[in-house]
């Protein structure tokens, strides 16, 4: 399961982030890291962009980036 | 390269949008660009100041998320810090994002003297957060300054007191009393992050901006008319009384007509910048970037390009510099190639000079040209599309634009405009007047007998296909390479307006819209893409702009008949080519389409 399987308001724990090292590092600094909790704040109309809350950070990621983040729904 | 001051060097370090540039401006009186956007600062900026009676060099660096950063500006900031090991690090941390900033500070501050400046505390506490600067200072082992409520001199004094206590940090972790801000979206954000509300709102703001700025009888037009009247009636009247024909021509044609043709548009340029600055300061742009990322992905760009493209409405050169904030070199290249088609404020005087020839209402004319420019820019992006890039953007906080910052930004733009007018543009007009008023024997003469006519006479063929077979038009157009405002000034100097047909005016406007940007923008492109690429793109843009203007004129003068005539051979060619391919490959239609 990854972020794109979540709906607005869902909370999940990140299991793994599988992407390029630079992107992984950017996601890590913005709170999207293995073991961290995130919440989906909003999904765009065509499900192209996901707005997330991770730690104290609110960030938007494109669908292709969201697919790289495996999660476990809580 | 700037020489280091004999004294302390301070490096302002922190996450994007933490307030580093605002602090820099407060400490140095500088004019670093500020904005409520992650990635405003794209390069190092240094300025000397006096802190605690000691000369210091303060350097504002681009924001860093991580030392293993994704973007070009992060890498450049980290390199700068490494190359200045003796400098004192002033960490600038936004209260809400301290949990992620502290590990970065710990990594950068190893073995170095540092102190921490906290920003945006009031906003953080309003959102339910809690922080104690004194407790934080005890845990970190470095001085901590809460910058909330301090500006300018008072901030400088407070920081000066802490400088001598700067030390190597101990533990970069949060105090137990720290409480994060509330999660979730505010009510305003629930609206602004709704595409059905925000996108129409954005277009509404744009149309309103254009309407207030350009519509006859409204603010922008009224102020412009006042300046025009002052130049034409008051100053022009005084110049007309001068007996010497040379002096009279110099003042009336060389100075008043040319400078007046540009200066009168200053109120409208300021209004445009006002709306851009307000959108930037409010945090609206980051919401727009998120909402438009889906559309931009189809063009091979990402939502972050919105910032650069909108900045292009102000100044192409500055917009090109902001592309450093894009994480992908391919996207950066594409955005830089699109930016010349976004009509910068310098093109405004030209559009308004030409608009009266083809549209009674300048508001509609300028709106059309701007829309056309954006359309061309997006078309170029789509044409150059190759593959997709990722998109990760932090949402900037929503805030009411700070009036002091908006006013300061506008005054800075006015100052820059006046300086440009008084230097580059004035020098060009003086040179143009001299060359167009004297012949090869240095006798005062008409423009057609002048040195300039001799030098540029051959250019008359350049715009002949659009009904402008006059070398002065070509000269005016090419003068836009130095500064786009020169085009309006040159037209004013030679003609006092634009006395040609509506079709020629529109075709010429299309050329100005689509041609290469000014030398400042070309230089900015050269810094990012290399000199050869920048010059090649400039040449290609100018060539294609010329062809586009020819096509527009052809369509406007021939109407639909010409358009259909143009389509017919294309259609026949395609049909013939299709049949030929199928016959060669012995294809049977049924097997293809069955």
The arithmetic mean of pLDDT across residues B363-377, rounded, is 88
Q: How far apart are CA B16 and CA B51, in angstroms?
A: 25
Q: pLDDT by residue (tens digit) across B112-132?
A: 999 999 999 998 999 899 999
CA B276 to chain centroid, in Å, comes to 10
Comparison of pLDDT for B252 and B548, the residue scoring more: B548
| pLDDT computed for residue B5 by the predictor | 45
The pTM score is 0.81
Q: How far apart are CA B24 and CA B57, in angstroms?
A: 11
pLDDT band at B6 (very low <50, low <70, confident <90, very high): low
Domain B8-163 superfamily per CATH: P-loop containing nucleotide triphosphate hydrolases (3.40.50.300)
pLDDT band at B287 (very low <50, low <70, confident <90, very high): very high
| Tokens read off for B134 | 């004194």
| Closest alpha carbon within chain A to B179 | A56
| pLDDT computed for residue B426 by the predictor | 86
| pLDDT computed for residue B106 by the predictor | 92
Is A29 in contact with B104 (Cβ distance < 8 A)?
yes
| pLDDT computed for residue B4 by the predictor | 46
Chain B residues with at least one Cβ partner in A under 8 Å: 65-66, 68-70, 96-97, 99-100, 104, 180-181, 183-185, 193, 195, 289-291, 293-294, 297, 302-303, 327, 388, 390-395
Alpha-carbon gap: A63 to the closest alpha carbon of chain B (Å) = 9
Is B303 in contact with A49 (Cβ distance < 8 A)?
yes
Q: pLDDT by residue (tens digit) across B135-189?
A: 999 999 999 999 987 777 888 888 888 888 888 887 888 888 899 988 888 888 9
| pLDDT computed for residue A33 by the predictor | 92
A41 touches A59 (CB < 8 A): no
Is A41 in contact with B97 (Cβ distance < 8 A)?
no
B267 touches B224 (CB < 8 A): yes
Which one of B183, B303, B390 has the shortest CB-CB distance to A65? B390
Q: What are phi and psi of B438, to 5 degrees?
A: -130, 145
Please state, rounded to an integer, the average pLDDT across all residues of chain B.
86
The arithmetic mean of pLDDT across residues B489-498, rounded, is 85
Domain segments of chain B as ranges: 8-163, 195-529
| pLDDT computed for residue B358 by the predictor | 65
Given a cut of 90, whether residue B214 has pLDDT beyond it is: no
Which one of B65, B290, B390 has the shortest CB-CB distance to A64? B390
| pLDDT computed for residue B302 by the predictor | 87
Q: What percent of chain B has pLDDT over 90?
A: 35
Which fold is adopted by the domain A3-73? SH3 type barrels. (2.30.30)
The arithmetic mean of pLDDT across residues B506-512, rounded, is 93
In chain A, residues with a C-beta closer than 8 Å to the C-beta of B388 are 64
| pLDDT computed for residue B2 by the predictor | 44
| pLDDT computed for residue B1 by the predictor | 39
Q: What percent of chain B has pLDDT over 70?
A: 93
Which one of A27, A46, A60 has the shortest CB-CB distance to B395? A60
Domain segments of chain A as ranges: 3-73
3-state DSSP helix/strand/coil percent for chain B, to nearest 5?
A: 65, 5, 30
Alpha-carbon gap: B432 to the closest alpha carbon of chain A (Å) = 52
What value of ipTM does the predicted structure carry?
Answer: 0.95
Given a cut of 50, whether residue B3 has pLDDT beyond it is: no
Query: A55 CB contacts (<8 Å, ≥6 apart)?
Result: A30, A31, A36, B99, B100, B180
In chain B, residues with a C-beta closer than 8 Å to the C-beta of A33 are none
Q: How far apart are CA B227 and CA B542, in angstroms?
A: 33
Q: pLDDT by residue (tens digit) across A3-61?
A: 999 999 999 999 999 999 889 999 999 999 999 999 999 998 888 899 999 988 999 99
Is B392 in contact with A27 (Cβ distance < 8 A)?
yes
Given a cut of 90, whether residue B568 has pLDDT beyond it is: no
Which one of A49, A53, A59 has the shortest CB-CB distance to B294? A49
| pLDDT computed for residue B579 by the predictor | 54
Is B66 in contact with A28 (Cβ distance < 8 A)?
yes
Mutate to test the interface with A, among B195, B390, B398 (most CBs of A within 10 A): B390
Q: How far apart are CA B249 and CA B240, in angstroms?
A: 9
């Amino acid at each position: 399961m990854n972020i794109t399987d979540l709906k607005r308001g869902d909370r999940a724990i990140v299991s793994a982030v599988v992407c390029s090292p630079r992107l992984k590092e950017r996601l890590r600094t913005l709170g999207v890291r293995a073991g961290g909790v995130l919440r989906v704040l909003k999904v765009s109309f065509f499900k192209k962009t996901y707005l997330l809350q991770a730690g104290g950070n609110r960030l938007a990621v494109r669908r292709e980036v969201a697919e790289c983040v495996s999660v476990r729904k809580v | 390269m700037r020489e280091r001051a004999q004294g302390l060097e301070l490096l302002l370090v922190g996450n994007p949008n933490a307030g580093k540039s605002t602090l820099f401006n407060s400490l140095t009186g500088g004019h670093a660009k500020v904005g409520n956007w992650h990635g405003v600062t794209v390069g190092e900026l240094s300025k000397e100041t006096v802190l605690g009676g000691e000369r210091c060099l303060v350097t504002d660096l681009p924001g860093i998320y991580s030392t293993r950063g994704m973007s070009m500006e992060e890498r450049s900031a980290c390199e700068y810090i490494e190359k200045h090991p003796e400098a004192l690090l002033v960490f600038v941390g936004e209260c809400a994002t301290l949990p992620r900033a502290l590990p970065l500070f710990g990594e950068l501050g190893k073995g170095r003297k540092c102190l921490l400046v906290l920003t945006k505390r009031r906003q953080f506490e309003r959102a339910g957060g809690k922080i104690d600067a004194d407790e934080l200072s005890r845990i970190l082992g470095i001085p901590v300054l809460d910058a909330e409520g301090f500006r300018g001199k008072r901030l400088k004094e407070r920081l000066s007191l802490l400088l001598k206590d700067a030390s190597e940090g101990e533990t970069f972790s949060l105090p137990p009393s720290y409480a994060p801000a509330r999660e979730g979206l505010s009510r305003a954000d629930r609206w602004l992050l709704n595409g059905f509300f925000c996108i129409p709102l954005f277009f509404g703001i744009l149309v309103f901006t254009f309407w207030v700025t350009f519509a006859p009888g409204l603010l922008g037009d009224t102020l412009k008319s006042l300046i025009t009247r002052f130049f034409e009636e008051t100053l022009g009247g005084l110049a007309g009384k001068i007996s010497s024909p040379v002096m009279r021509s110099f003042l009336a044609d060389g100075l008043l007509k040319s400078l007046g043709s540009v200066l009168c548009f200053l109120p409208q340029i300021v209004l445009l910048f006002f709306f851009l600055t307000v959108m930037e300061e409010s945090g609206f742009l980051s919401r727009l970037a998120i909402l438009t990322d889906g559309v931009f992905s189809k063009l091979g760009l990402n939502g972050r390009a919105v910032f650069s493209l909108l900045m292009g409405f102000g100044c192409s050169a500055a917009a090109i510099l902001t592309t450093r904030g894009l994480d992908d070199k391919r996207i950066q290249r594409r955005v830089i190639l699109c930016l010349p088609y976004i009509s910068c404020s310098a093109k405004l005087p030209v559009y308004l000079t030409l608009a009266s020839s083809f549209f009674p209402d300048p508001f509609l004319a300028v709106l059309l040209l701007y829309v056309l420019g954006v359309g061309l820019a997006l078309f170029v992006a789509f044409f150059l599309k190759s593959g997709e890039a990722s998109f990760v953007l932090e949402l900037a906080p929503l805030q009411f634009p700070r009036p002091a910052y908006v006013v300061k930004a506008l005054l800075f733009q006015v100052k820059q405009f006046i300086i440009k007018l008084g230097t580059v543009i004035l020098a060009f007009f003086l040179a143009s007047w001299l060359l167009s008023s004297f012949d090869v024997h240095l006798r005062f003469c008409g423009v057609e007998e002048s040195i300039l006519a001799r030098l540029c006479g051959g250019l008359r063929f350049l715009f002949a296909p659009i009904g402008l077979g006059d070398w002065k038009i070509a000269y005016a157009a090419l003068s836009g390479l130095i500064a786009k405002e020169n085009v309006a000034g040159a037209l004013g100097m030679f003609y006092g307006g634009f006395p040609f047909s509506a079709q020629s005016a529109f075709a010429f406007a299309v050329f100005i819209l689509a041609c290469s940007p000014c030398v400042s923008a070309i230089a900015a492109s050269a810094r990012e893409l290399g000199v050869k690429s920048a010059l090649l793109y400039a040449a290609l843009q100018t060539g294609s702009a010329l062809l586009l203007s020819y096509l527009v004129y052809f369509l406007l003068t021939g109407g639909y008949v010409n358009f259909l005539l143009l389509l017919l051979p294309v259609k026949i060619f395609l049909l013939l080519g299709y049949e030929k391919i199928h016959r060669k490959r012995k294809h049977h239609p049924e097997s293809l389409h069955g």
